[in-house]
C-alpha cells in the first residue's frame, strides 16, 4: 500500500499557516500534495487510497494482510479505547479478530493480548466513573448533615493541612488522575458536528458523551468555589487574611510544580466578587506574591505570559530527569477553548469539498501534546485525609458567599445593601449554608464552554474569552 508522506513542513514556527492553500499543489488520483505532503483530498479518494488492491498487495491473502490489520487494531485500541465502549464496535472488533486469528496461533495470541489490554483499560474507566459517583454521593450526604446540623462539620482547610506545598501536591494528584482518564476521542466527540457535505448516516453515528472532559471542567469550578468559601467563612478578619495568604502560597507552589490548572482555579476563587470586596481583610494581606501570580496568568494578549510559562514547563518536561520535572498540567479551560475556536474557525472541508488536512493536523498536534502530559504519574505521596477534604467538603453558592461576605464586612453602597437585605429575607445564614454549591453538567462540552463564557462564577475565564475572540 502506498504510504502517505509525513505531514512535515506544513507549519512554520508560528503554527497555523493561513497561506498554505494559496501555493501550487499537485493532484494524484483526487489527492492533492504540497511539497510531497498530503494537503487535501475528497473522502472517496482517501478511502480508495487506503483500500488494499492487487496493485497495492500482489498477494492479498489473509496471512499477508493480517499483521497490518492487527497492528492497526492494536494502535486503535491503545490510543482510542473509549470507542470500544460501544457494544457494536466491540462486537465488530471481536468478529474481525476471530477471522484474522483462525488457524494461526501467533495471530490468535496477538489478538488475545490486544483484547485483554483493552478490557483492562475499559474496566479501569468504569471504576473511575464509579469513584466519581461515590464522591458526588458523599458530597450530597454532607450537604444533608450540614443542613440539619450546621455546626457538625468543621470547614477549615487550615485544620486539615497547614503546609502549602503539601496541599499543592495533593491538588496535583487530583489533577493528574482526572487528566489520565480523558481520552483523545473525547475531544472529537465534544466538538463533533455533522458535516453538511456528508449526506449518508453511518451505522455508528450516535454521539458519545465527553463525560471525563466535563468532570474535569467541573473540578476547576469546585476548586474555585472551595477557595472562595474557605476565605469567606472565618468570622475574624485576621483569620480570613491568614487563609488568603495560605492559598497564595499554595498557588505559588502549584506554579513551581507546573500545575497551572489548580493555580488558575485558586486565582479565580480569590478574584470572585464576594472575596475581592473584603477590603479590610485584603489590607492585612501581603499581596506582593499574589500580584506576581496574577501577572503570570494575566489574560491580556491571549494569555501571553501564561503561554510563555507553559512552553517553559513543556521544555522542562522534555529534558526532565525525574517525574517531578515532567509535570505539565495546562489551564484546561483555555486549552479546550483553543481547540474549540480552532474547530469552529476552520472548516472541515475546503470549498472544493476536500477534507481540510491542515485543520485536522493542527488539532491532532494539540491533542497529542495533551496526551503526553496526561501520561505522567504523580511522584508525590498521597494524603487520603487531604484528598477527601478537597473532593467532598461542601462549598458555598454565589448567594451564600455574598451573605458570608456581607456579614464579615458590611455592604458599602446601596446596591450591596439591597442585595444583603434580599439574601437575609431568604432565611438567614443557616439556610444559605444549606443551599451549598453542587454543580452537575448534564450538557455537551460545547454547552459547558458556553456556560464558562457567561458564568458569573468564573471571573478569570470570562475575561480570557474576550481576549481569544
| pLDDT tens digits, 116-131 | 999 998 898 888 888 8
| Cell numbers for 419 | 442585595
Residues 250 and 368 in one domain: yes
At residue 27, the pLDDT reads: 55
Residues 293 and 165 in one domain: yes
Alpha helices in 319-413 (DSSP H): 332-345, 357-374, 384-392, 398-408
- Poorest-pLDDT segment among 134-138, 333-337, 424-428: 424-428
At residue 271, the pLDDT reads: 94
Percentage of the chain modeled with pLDDT above 90: 35
At residue 11, the pLDDT reads: 34
Residue 7 lies in a domain: no
Residue 430 lies in a domain: no
CA distance 171 to 161: 12
Residue 459: which pLDDT band, with cuts at 50, 70 and 90? very low
CA distance 191 to 346: 13
Residue 433 lies in a domain: no
- The DSSP line for 108-141 is HHHHHHHHHHHHHHHHHHHHHHHHHHHHHHHHHH
At residue 264, the pLDDT reads: 95
Residues 265 and 248 in one domain: yes
Residues 301 and 329 in one domain: yes
- Say whether pLDDT at 65 is over 70: yes
Domain count, the chain: 3
Residues 96 and 180 in one domain: no
| Domain termination residue (choose one: 153, 184, 219) | 153
Which 8-state DSSP code applies to residue 382? P
Mean pLDDT across the chain: 77
Residue 11 lies in a domain: no
At residue 254, the pLDDT reads: 97
Residues 142 and 172 in one domain: no
Q: What is the pTM of this model?
A: 0.74
- Which residue in the block uniquely carries the three cell numbers 456581607? 406
Residues 136 and 38 in one domain: no
Using DSSP, state whether 238 is helix, strand or coil.
helix
Residue 230 lies in a domain: yes
Residues 130 and 182 in one domain: no
Residues 251 and 298 in one domain: yes
pLDDT tens digits for range 177-189: 999 988 888 887 7
Residue 106 lies in a domain: yes
Beta sheet of 26-28, edge-to-edge order: 26-28, 31-34, 37-41, 355-356
At residue 464, the pLDDT reads: 34
Strands 26-28 and 37-41: what pairing? unpaired
Which 8-state DSSP code applies to residue 40? E
Residue 461 lies in a domain: no
Residue 236: which pLDDT band, with cuts at 50, 70 and 90? very high
**Which CATH number is 328's domain given?**
1.10.840.10
Residues 271 and 294 in one domain: yes
Question: Is residue 355 within 8 Å of residue 50, measured between CB atoms?
Answer: no
Which 8-state DSSP code applies to residue 409? S
Residue 282 lies in a domain: yes
Residues 146 and 230 in one domain: no
Residues 384 and 415 in one domain: yes
Question: Is residue 111 within 8 Å of residue 100, measured between CB atoms?
Answer: yes
CA distance 435 to 3: 60
Domain range for residue 143?
57-153
Higher pLDDT residue, 29 or 220? Answer: 220
CA distance 300 to 306: 10
Question: Is residue 427 within 8 Å of residue 299, measured between CB atoms?
Answer: no
Which 8-state DSSP code applies to residue 85? G
Sort residue 271 into left (φ over 0), alpha (ψ -120 to 50) or beta.
alpha
pLDDT tens digits for range 79-121: 888 889 888 989 999 988 888 877 778 888 988 999 999 999 8
Amino acid at each position: 500500500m502506498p504510504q502517505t508522506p509525513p505531514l512535515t513542513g506544513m507549519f512554520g514556527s508560528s503554527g497555523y499557516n493561513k497561506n498554505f492553500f494559496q501555493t501550487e499543489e499537485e493532484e494524484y488520483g483526487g489527492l492533492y500534495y504540497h511539497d510531497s505532503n498530503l494537503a487535501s483530498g475528497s473522502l472517496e479518494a482517501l478511502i480508495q487510497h487506503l483500500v488494499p488492491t492487487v496493485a497495492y498487495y500482489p498477494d492479498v491473502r489473509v496471512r499477508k494482510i493480517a499483521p497490518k490489520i492487527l497492528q492497526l487494531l492494536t494502535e486503535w485500541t491503545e490510543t482510542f479505547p473509549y470507542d470500544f465502549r460501544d457494544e457494536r464496535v466491540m462486537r465488530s472488533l471481536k468478529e474481525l479478530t476471530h477471522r484474522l486469528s483462525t488457524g494461526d496461533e501467533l495471530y490468535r495470541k496477538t489478538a488475545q493480548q490486544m483484547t485483554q489490554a483493552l478490557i483492562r483499560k475499559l474496566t479501569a474507566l468504569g471504576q473511575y466513573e464509579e469513584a466519581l459517583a461515590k464522591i458526588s454521593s458523599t458530597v450530597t450526604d454532607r450537604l444533608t448533615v450540614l443542613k440539619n446540623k450546621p455546626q457538625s462539620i468543621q470547614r477549615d482547610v487550615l485544620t486539615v493541612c497547614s503546609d502549602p506545598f503539601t496541599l499543592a501536591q495533593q491538588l496535583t494528584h487530583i489533577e493528574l488522575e482526572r487528566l489520565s482518564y480523558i481520552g483523545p476521542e473525547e475531544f472529537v466527540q465534544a466538538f463533533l458536528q455533522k458535516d453538511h457535505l456528508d449526506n449518508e448516516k453511518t451505522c455508528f453515528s450516535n454521539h458519545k458523551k465527553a463525560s471525563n472532559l466535563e468532570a474535569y471542567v467541573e473540578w476547576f469550578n469546585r476548586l474555585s468555589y472551595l477557595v472562595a468559601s474557605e476565605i469567606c467563612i472565618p468570622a475574624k478578619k485576621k483569620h480570613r487574611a491568614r487563609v488568603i495568604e495560605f492559598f497564595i502560597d499554595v498557588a505559588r507552589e502549584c506554579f513551581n510544580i507546573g500545575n497551572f490548572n489548580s493555580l488558575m482555579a485558586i486565582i479565580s476563587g480569590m478574584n470572585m466578587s464576594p472575596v475581592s470586596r473584603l477590603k479590610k481583610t485584603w489590607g492585612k494581606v501581603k499581596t506582593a506574591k499574589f500580584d506576581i501570580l496574577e501577572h503570570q496568568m494575566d489574560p491580556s494578549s491571549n494569555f501571553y505570559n501564561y503561554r510563555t510559562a507553559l512552553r517553559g514547563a513543556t521544555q522542562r518536561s522534555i529534558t526532565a530527569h525525574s517525574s517531578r520535572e515532567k509535570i505539565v498540567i495546562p489551564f484546561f479551560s483555555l486549552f479546550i477553548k483553543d481547540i474549540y475556536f480552532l474547530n469552529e474557525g476552520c472548516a472541515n472541508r475546503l470549498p472544493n469539498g476536500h477534507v481540510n488536512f491542515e485543520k485536522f493536523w493542527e488539532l491532532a498536534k494539540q491533542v497529542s501534546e495533551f496526551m503526553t502530559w496526561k501520561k505522567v504519574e504523580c511522584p508525590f505521596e498521597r494524603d487520603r485525609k487531604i484528598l477527601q477534604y478537597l473532593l467532598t467538603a461542601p462549598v458555598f453558592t454565589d448567594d451564600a458567599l455574598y451573605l458570608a461576605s456581607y456579614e464579615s464586612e458590611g455592604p458599602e453602597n446601596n446596591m450591596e445593601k439591597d442585595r444583603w437585605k434580599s439574601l437575609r429575607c431568604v432565611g438567614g445564614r443557616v439556610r444559605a449554608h444549606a443551599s451549598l454549591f453542587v454543580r452537575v453538567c448534564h450538557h455537551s462540552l460545547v454547552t459547558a464552554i458556553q456556560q464558562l463564557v457567561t458564568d458569573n462564577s468564573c471571573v478569570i475565564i470570562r475575561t480570557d474569552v474576550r481576549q481569544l475572540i
